[in-house]
Amino acid sequence: MSETRFWLIRHALVDENSRAILYGIMDVPLCETTLEAQAPMYAALARRLPRPAVWKVTPLSRTHRTAKAIFNAGYPEVEPGIEPDMIEQSLGEWHGLPHAELPAKLAAPQHPFWPLAGDEKPPGGESMVEVIVRAGAALERMAQYHNGEDVVIVSHGGTIRAAVAYALDVHPDNALHLSIHNLSLTCLERHPEGWRVTCVNELPGY
């Protein structure tokens, strides 16, 4: 097994109405104003990302549009594969709930930097513990299939935190303290000896 490098990008900012609710795996639109204003960030990502690389997106349109914006900014366009297991945490019956209404539904205290604690499982949804298992299995599978390659994945904040938690073998609540900004880059390497984290939340152009 050779070194496989993963370049994880959080999708662009979603629209204002979507940010007011728990949207999880809902297919919400991007903020058009921000999409246009952040053109220099897409250009910086286009320069920063490896060439050639395998590209992956999730089933949600916000990851597809983010990848397309990077291609439009100068990265040679490829056809991304869809990786369902890198989708955001499912919030089940709590999808669409205004943020202010969530605390009354929680079984455990709310995490200071995430809507839920790491082991909180919404009705019909999944806990961050489960997201870590899901994302970790996906990364291991891709590391085998794309052995020795660079893999760019446009994903989601919760899933990228989960990927780092898997790589570092840390508790879900600790992983949720990580800041993962929109359009930030997080880099993981799968070596024969194990996982290595080379950067987290790197902002384009910095």
| For range 183-194, the mean pLDDT | 98
Average pLDDT, the chain: 96
Model confidence at 205, in pLDDT bands (50, 70, 90)? confident
State yes or no: pLDDT of 201 exceeds 80: yes
Model confidence at 173, in pLDDT bands (50, 70, 90)? very high
The residues with which 8 forms a beta bridge, in sequence order, are 153, 186
Pick the closest to residue 27 from 114, 118, 90, 102 (CA basis): 90
The residues with which 5 forms a beta bridge, in sequence order, are 150, 189
| For range 11-21, the mean pLDDT | 97
pLDDT tens, position by position, 109-143: 889 999 999 999 999 999 999 999 999 999 999 99
pLDDT tens, position by position, 81-95: 999 999 999 999 999
The residues with which 14 forms a beta bridge, in sequence order, are 30
Domain ranges for the chain: 4-202
For residue 148, what are the CA distances in angstroms to 3, 4, 42, 139, 181? 5, 5, 26, 13, 28
| For range 10-33, the mean pLDDT | 97
pLDDT score at 1? 74
**Architecture in CATH for domain 4-202:** 3-Layer(aba) Sandwich (3.40)
Pick the closest to residue 65 from 38, 98, 85 (CA basis): 38
The Cα 161–Cα 201 span in angstroms is 10
pLDDT score at 206? 58
Share of the chain above pLDDT 90, in %: 95
Model confidence at 67, in pLDDT bands (50, 70, 90)? very high
pTM confidence score: 0.97
The Cα 58–Cα 85 span in angstroms is 8
